[in-house]
Amino acid sequence: MLTANRSDIGRVRQVNEDYSWVSQYNNGVTLAIVADGMGGHKAGDVASQKAVDAFRSTVEQGAAKPDLSLQEGKMLIRQAISSANEAVYDLASRNDQYYNMGTTIVAALVKSDNAIIGHVGDSRAYKIAEGDITQLTVDHTLVNELVKSGQLSEEEAAHHPRRNVLTRAVGTDSHVEIDIQTIDLMQGDVLLLCSDGLSNMVTEEQILETVTSEQLELDAKAEHLISLALHAGGDDNITIVLLQDAVGANREERVG
């Protein structure tokens, strides 16, 4: 599995409140997570890092199991995101300066020809395959609820002033509803996990064109997506994780 993990503070924010992590194991499992924190002064970056740390400590031992089944993987992702929720909520409950902080999460567990996606909030997962791009996750936002109920069009939603208001987040309540799904992966397919600093600034067409480029290796594709978001204004922190099966992918030198 080839991986690329990139984050940029953007052109507007003073702090990068995004946090991401990618790891691969000897049993063929690859884990990845992107979290986009929110809250008061310095609370967003605390929330996202706390969530990823809790996710990681819960998921690592189980993910390395030699014969991890699909069902076990789904339970593991759910448990890990629940642990992240508990960790952030507990910290916020005990510290006034972290009151009401929270974070989005989008995570993937990839093994052979399957990927398990878990998410809360508006950080997204996309699948790029056979020249097409598919948004796998559904944004947990007020504006998306208005679109689903027919009160807003897709075009109106894209520019709505409250498009970043979440209906669900990790750490804001003692329990959180987690969306889990399983998708099939073919050789050469690419999974993209990202914060809304990318998806709000860069079109699906631009993402597709970049990821399917035969001139760029995976790291360069991630860097180019960051540059597109910055060129579009860089209004938010931008975080990108790309995952691609090494078979059928462009070869690249791996460092570190």
Domains of the chain: 2-244 (3.60.40.10)
| pLDDT in 10s for each residue of the chain, 256 residues | 999 999 999 999 999 999 999 999 999 999 999 999 998 667 999 999 999 999 999 998 899 988 899 999 999 999 999 999 999 999 999 999 998 899 999 999 999 899 999 999 999 999 999 999 999 999 999 888 888 888 888 777 777 777 778 999 999 999 999 999 999 999 999 999 999 999 999 999 999 999 999 999 999 999 999 999 999 999 999 999 999 987 544 433 333 2
User: How far is it, in rounded angstroms, from Cα 193 to Cα 206?
Assistant: 15
Q: What values do phi and psi take at 237, rounded to 5?
A: -60, 145
C-alpha 78/C-alpha 176 separation (Å) is: 10
Report pLDDT for 160.
78
Q: Which residues contact 256 (CB under 8 A, 6 or more apart)?
A: none
pTM of the model: 0.93
Measured CA to CA, the distance from residue 31 to residue 45 in angstroms comes to: 21
